[in-house]
Amino acid sequence: MSIPRIAAKRFTVGKYIVVAEPIPHSAHMLRYTVFVGRNRIGSLASMPSEADCLYLEKPPIVPPLKIYHVTNRPGRPKKGSKPPVQQENKSYAPAPLQDIPAGINIPRGTSE
C-alpha cells in the first residue's frame, strides 16, 4: 500500500499565479511556484501571501558592504600626551575561606 499524494493545484494571489505541486519524496508537502505573467519569479515551501510574492518579485535593495575601518590604532602617542599608567598585576581568584572577615554568613551546599 502506498501513501496517497496530494494533487497539484493552481490559484491566484492578487496578480500572481501560484502553482502548488507535491515536493518529490513527500506525501503532504507542496512546493508553491510563483509566476507573474509567464515568468517564474520563485518558489516557496509554504503558502505564499501577496507580500511574499511581492518580495520575490522586487526584493529590497541591499546596501553595499562597507570596508572595515579601524578607528583606534595604537601607534605613536600625540605630542604632549601623558605616558600610560602601569597597572599592578591583580589576580581575581576568590579569596580563601580563612581570609574572609568574621561575621559574614557563607551558605554551604546541602550535601548531607
- Cα separation, 8 vs 11, whole angstroms: 10
Q: What is the pLDDT of residue 26?
A: 80
Q: Are 28 and 6 in contact (CB under 8 A)?
A: yes
Q: Using CA of residue 12, residue 17, residue 19, residue 20, what is the dihedral sign?
A: negative
Q: What is the pLDDT of residue 109?
A: 67
The per-residue pLDDT for range 21-44, each reduced to its tens digit, is 988 888 788 999 999 988 999 999
**Side chain identity, residue 79:** K
The per-residue pLDDT for range 92-112, each reduced to its tens digit, is 666 566 666 667 676 776 655
The per-residue pLDDT for range 46-62, each reduced to its tens digit, is 999 999 999 999 999 99
Q: What share of the chain is helix, strand, coil (3-state, %, to 5)?
A: 10, 20, 70
